[in-house]
Amino acid sequence: MVFIYRNIAFAIQIKGKNMEANLGLFTDKYELTMAQAYFKGGRVHSEAVFDYFFRNLPFQNGFLVFAGLQDFLSLLQDFSFGEESIDFLHRDHFDPDFLDYLKSFRFNGTIRAMREGEIVFPYEPLIRVEGTLIETQIIETLLLNILNFESLIATKAARVRLAAGDRAISDFGLRRAHGLGGIHASRAAVIGGCNSTSNVLAAFRYGLTPVGTIAHSFIQSFADELSAFREYARFNPDTCFLLVDTYDTLNSGIPNAITVAKELERDGHRLVGIRIDSGDLAYLSKRARQMLDEAGLDYVKISVSNQLDERVIKSLIEQGAPIDLFGVGTRLITGQPDSALDGVYKLALAEGEPRMKISDSLSKTTLPGKKNVFRYSNGEGGFLADAIVLEDETKIEYIYHPFEKEKHFRVANFHKEALLHPVVVNGEIVLPFKSVSEIASFVRERLALLPPEHKRFEYPHIYKVGISKKLRNLRDIIVKQHLGEDEEV
């Protein structure tokens, strides 16, 4: 297996099969069977609009960080069906005429999206996809796969950043990540708030800062710990981080690290830091700081790892642990305790008519028509509420709770900004791509505008997301029409 990284897509050569040239197969089969039915039914040119949104915030959080947009758009550029994929679908008994259509398939529609790194909330469209029914339908799985995952990890990282304050955070999660998803996960982790990553391939691809210390196995490969430390320092004199808990943190690891630090000083270098990977991290970091300071090594940093997450970090800081860097791995990169974001992709308009899914539960009922999203802010720029409106609406006086009709909020006198922006027009990407560090800075800027009550870990305040009266009325009319049809039957 050879991995060739071009753009964002992986060209995975497995027994001669180039996955990048056949990226159209990155889908669920029902997308293709539906597309074939549209094709055979003469609906090749039928127009449609889909919305991407989510219903539930992960981690019982008060917000979501929208991430993965640039990765999705880059993959969308390569979304096509090569000769091998056509042969594969032929063997799976797809119609030959439909397969001829797929040979030249490219997404030629238009996409409007929120900016990557935006702070977003349930039910509001994060992306609006417009085009033919086939092309908007067939990209669903790709869109959901990338955006749901990266948004989940970026949000987890943002929570870790809120807990850590100004202290450094590094993503240590690649070895516990879900296969090649670890590449996108490390990108999302830095967008959400990590300063660096252990993931060298992600650092290479996305311009991230790669970091690394030393493993227990290196130390164990020597006859004694001090020899291991000296050898590592010999070849890494200016970037030396020593892992001090292989045998005995306080009686062996830290004293030996101090010895090596003094030897580095004599040669004109400085030990960068030590890492503690087990035990009582609060107690050990306090004792380590004391021992290092007493040895005149107040410049040596202390990093910790071992099953960290935002709550553990918050606890360590509350205990006064003098930790400079947190290495966060499994619980970040796998989005624990939530394994997935429940983002969905729903039809909102077909052949010029608004469409919606109707459910016994109003919260599962979707919003019809082509829509925009506005954000309202107070005089100081702090976020107050978001409005989901129909495309032709520009002035809104009130927004209404999507499910509790008696609740409403006046927005007429507040500053308004549109959140959906064109990113693809007639199949061409028009979004100027930004670096990961630029997107991460945007996350910090937007989070600073979100009131504190929405950022707390315990019972965060629910952010106001409402719909316009016109959109509410359209939804209610469609529901009544469908119920009336059912009653007549």
- Beta-carbon count within 10 A of 337 CB: 11
Q: What is the pLDDT of residue 362?
A: 76
Q: What is the pLDDT of residue 18?
A: 62
Element spanning 71, H or E: helix 69-77
Q: What is the mean pLDDT of the chain?
A: 94
Q: What is the pLDDT of residue 17?
A: 56
User: Residues 96-141: pLDDT tens digits?
Assistant: 999 999 999 999 999 999 999 999 999 999 999 999 999 999 999 9
User: Residues 323-367: pLDDT tens digits?
Assistant: 999 999 999 999 999 989 999 999 999 999 999 999 877 778 999
Q: What is the pLDDT of residue 387?
A: 98
pLDDT at 4 over 70: no
pLDDT at 8 over 70: no
User: Residues 151-182: pLDDT tens digits?
Assistant: 999 999 999 999 999 999 999 999 999 999 99
Q: What is the pLDDT of residue 405?
A: 81
Query: Rounded to two decimals, what is the model's pTM?
Result: 0.94
**pLDDT band (50, 70, 90) for residue 15:** very low
Q: What is the dihedral of CA 236, 241, 247, 250, to 10 degrees?
A: 130
Q: What is the pLDDT of residue 19?
A: 62
Residue with tokens 């830290």: 254
> Is residue 153 a contact partner of residue 186, using CB atoms and an 8 Å limit?
no
Percent of the chain scored above 70 by pLDDT? 95
Terminal-to-terminal C-alpha distance of the chain: 58
Which CATH code fits 23-489? Answer: 3.20.140.10
Q: What is the pLDDT of residue 1?
A: 33
> Is residue 271 a contact partner of residue 230, using CB atoms and an 8 Å limit?
no
Q: Which of 252, 261, 182 is nearest to 219 (CA)?
A: 252
Residue 177 identity = A
CA dist 195 and 399 (Å) reads 38
pLDDT at 373 over 90: yes
Mean pLDDT of 225-250: 98
User: Residues 246-302: pLDDT tens digits?
Assistant: 999 999 999 999 999 999 999 999 999 999 999 999 999 999 999 999 999 999 999
pLDDT at 489 over 50: no
Q: What is the pLDDT of residue 482?
A: 83
Q: What is the pLDDT of residue 296?
A: 98
Q: Which of 393, 27, 303, 333 is nearest to 202 (CA)?
A: 333
Q: What angle do CA 361, 365, 371 make, to 5 degrees?
A: 155
CA dist 209 and 17 (Å) reads 33
Q: What is the DSSP letter of 63?
A: -
Element spanning 467, H or E: strand 464-467
